[in-house]
Structure 1
């Protein structure tokens, strides 16, 4: 049962967080517009496209910086409570500091569930719209950059088939120096090669040029050659080199299926996808850790007032974001465990939260 004090603090918690979002998102939009307005004019982008982009930008921006917004909003209104001696009055009435934290934890739970659900379904769609716009209209050679390295692509399609292409053009859907090998119990059964292969979207087929198929036999190999051959395969050429931000655009179930498929294919980008998966769960948990730190830092009335609390809060918030980004990149670019990289900032700041909470209780 929530008391009057619980409802009062919870209302301030959620209202200040919402106000912080509404205050900083327009600033983010203005800065983004000032940086990109020249390219928007040069590329003659339709107003409707720009409006849709900034709808996606708002969600993408808020999700990316949500820990900072939440942290600063709690610092802000808790410092006001402390400066108005409201916290002293609450604790002086016999309420323990742990009991005082209850509405904060309830607020963190509400925000955490909201961020978790947004991360599963809403944020992926906005990430796709945000990134598609950037690569299509704002980056030179953006469509080519969307797929990263398109040379020497080697993939395992399933348990028995392996595919190789020397290079892949995602714009024309053409791959060069194509080879498809089929094995049975580690023994080569057949191999198909072609100088190039083209995807035909109108009938979902492939056209292979300079086609050669070698079928391995007990008494001798069978060779089949044709200048051009049209057929169907179980893979799609676009799947050879997924767009660099593909994991961000998938819902939870789609991401799990995609990661499973990429693991079987031996994808070199698997760590990137695992980081995205783990962050869907670690970011909501950070709401609890940052809430405890923010309350512990700002509940005491300091000589510097709210300014001192905000200074400490901003330093801690940016330290958290710094750790999060550094370890995320470390996992994506090396063999460092994505699980450890994603959860390490929460672990470190969780220990800090316990220390600060014990100190605040005194």
Structure 2
């Protein structure tokens, strides 16, 4: 049962949080628009697509920054309570510090549920339009990083491999296609020094084509300097779209990861990292809430300005840790689970330390 104290703090909590969103989201949109308006005009992006893009932009970027907005809003209104000596009055009336903390945790729970629902089901749908517009108009002609050592199991019988693939040119090197029969023995193997997708003809062009057939333990070899042919696999099977995991909801993402694991995808860590980050964001809401309360509930000589400066510094450090560990997981053998847990664990310990200090 919520008391008057709970309702008072919870109302300030949610109103300040919504006010922070209403303030900073339009600023983020205007800053992005000011940066991208030249490319929008040069590429003649339709106004309707631009409007839809910034709607998706609000959902995608806003969801990532919700814990940070929450953190700053708590520091803002709690510092105000402290400067007005309201917190001293509350604690002097016999209310324990843990009881004072309860409405903050209730608010964090509500925000965590919002983050969870958005991250798992709403934002993935918005991410499709956001990324398609981004690649179509903002990253048009930009060099995309070449992917190396791509191995993919298409089904129980077919496997493909390329040593490198350039998404811009849709060209791969050292291509291999192996087909196994029902007895799990190799039926035939196709290899080529390069494979290229010819979009206008919807065909694959193989250079230095070699096909080896095995029939009754007798090998037959067919070679051609160049061969235009069809395959059952799609060009995306050679290099999945980099943002594909971001466009899938909770259930689709789990199925996609299992499918990629069965195919032996080399960049599986990037997809697993996206999954774990969606679970970590709601936890971050609780960690940052505790830090914000511990910092701002104590009246200081510097007042709200000092608390906000500290809060912004902590927010930047948190984002820095998140990016560093995320990059390690994507580009090395570092565990995606640890990459997501470590920032929250580090700041969780920091939160407990600050909370005990504030309580004293």
Q: Same fold (TM over 0.5)?
A: yes
CA displacement 1:169-195 (0-9 Å, x = unmatched): 768978787532134687433224577
Contact 1:178–1:197 (CA<8 Å) still a contact in 2? Answer: no
Q: Check the 8 A contact 2:151/2:266 in 1, yes or no.
A: no
**For the structure 1 residues 302 and 164, does the alpha-carbon distance in structure 2 shift closer, same or farther, using more than 3 Å as the test?**
same
Cα pair 1:68 1:318 within 8 Å, conserved: no
Residues 149, 266 of structure 2: 8 Å contact kept:
no
| Structure 1 residues 283-298: aligned runs within 5 Å | 283-298=281-296
| Cα 1:102–1:141 shift into 2, 3 Å | same
Aligned position for 2:178: 181
Structure 1 position 213, deviation (Å): 5.1
In structure 2, the residue matched to 1:161 is 158
1:137–1:200 CA distance, 2 compared to 1 (3 A): closer
Q: State the alpha-carbon separation in 1 of the partners of residues 116 and 28 from structure 2.
A: 23
Closer, same or farther: CA 191–355 of 1 in aligned 2, 3 Å? same
Unaligned residue ranges in structure 2 (runs of 5+): none
Alpha-carbon distance change, 108 to 219 in structure 1, aligned in 2, over 3 angstroms: closer
Displacement of 1:50 in angstroms is 0.7
Judge conservation of contact 2:146–2:167 (CA < 8 Å) in 1.
no
CA separation of 1:167/1:357 partners in 2, compared to 1, >3 Å: closer, same or farther? closer
Contact 2:151 2:161 in 1 (8 A): yes
| 1-structure distance, mates of 2:300, 2:155 | 63
Matches within 5 A, 1:37-52: 37-52=37-52
Cα distance per residue 1:216-253 (max 9 Å; x no partner): 234423567899797773x4332221111111111111
The CA distance in 2 between the partners of 1:207 and 1:78, in whole Å, is: 63
Unmatched segments (≥5 aa) in structure 1: none
Cα pair 1:25 1:62 within 8 Å, conserved? yes
Q: Where do residues 224-303 of structure 1 align in structure 2 (5 Å cutoff)?
A: 233=232, 235-303=233-301
Question: How big is the alpha-carbon RMSD for the aligned residues of Structure 1 and Structure 2?
Answer: 2.9
Aligned length: 356
Residues in 1 aligned to 2:314 and 2:121: alpha-carbon distance in whole angstroms: 30
What SS does the aligned partner of 2:218 have? coil
- Counterpart residue number, 2:121: 121
Separation of aligned partners in 2, 1:182 and 1:265: 14
C-alpha separation in 1, matches of 2:137 and 2:314: 36
- Mapped contact 1:289–1:350 kept (Cα < 8 A): yes
1:343 aligns with: 341
Equivalent pair of 1:174/1:199 in contact (CA under 8 Å): no
Closer, same or farther in 2 for the Cα pair 1:330/1:48, shift >3 Å? same
Residue-by-residue CA offset, 1:134-156 (whole Å, 9 max, x unaligned): 211112414x73xx426764322
Q: Distance in 1 between matches of 2:47 and 2:256?
A: 34
